[in-house]
Amino acid sequence: MSRCLGAKGHGDRVDTVFYPPARAQGIFVSGGAPRTPWWKKIMSSGNNADNQPDQKLVLRPIVGLAENLPKGDLERITIDAILRHRQLRDEAEERCEQCQTATFVDPRGKTVGPARIAYIVAMIDVHAQQTVLSTLLDVLGYVPLTSVDKSL
């Protein structure tokens, strides 16, 4: 495992992230009703930062699309998602290394620089694909062997 992503997929450094208040207490959804996001509930509850939301994130549209597919087709789609996740992970590793060697400094503090932005975008892609992959694995019910795994 690399120095950038670590065992849990996070960097060695922990940056403090402050979320700007969205209309005082919560985020407004249609109809104007405030809804406090899960991360604010966890952060304000006094529990440690490793807590997860109560419910696992499942992408219901993917469940709907995949649940009635033949197992062979669903397995092929899941293997493609595994390979795509690995590719995105490797790209994020490269962006992390580039970010660590970058010497960009904005004297006004208005941007973190192009290398850091590229790393953040790459990590968003990794986490989004991980959610897709996790949902597909839940529907499939097992982790299929990829061609890379079969050669080991």
**Domains in the chain, please, with CATH?**
1-55 (no CATH), 57-150 (1.10.287.160)
pLDDT attached to residue 148: 73
Give tens-digit pLDDT for 58-111.
899 999 999 999 999 999 999 999 999 999 999 999 999 999 998 888 888 888
Give tens-digit pLDDT for 116-144.
999 999 999 999 999 999 999 999 999 99
Give tens-digit pLDDT for 25-69.
344 434 444 555 544 454 455 555 455 556 678 899 999 999 999
The first and second tokens of residue 59, run together, are 């992408």
pLDDT at 10 over 50: no
pLDDT attached to residue 57: 81
In order, the DSSP letters of the chain are: --TTTTTTT--SS-----PPPSSTTSEE-TTS-EE--HHHHHHHTT--TT---SS----HHHHHHHTTS-HHHHHHHHHHHHHHHHHHHHHHHHHHHHHHH-----TT-S---HHHHHHHHHHHHHHHHHHHHHHHHHHH-S-PPPHHHHT-
CA distances from 29 to 10, 32, 42, 57, 148 (A): 30, 6, 20, 19, 44
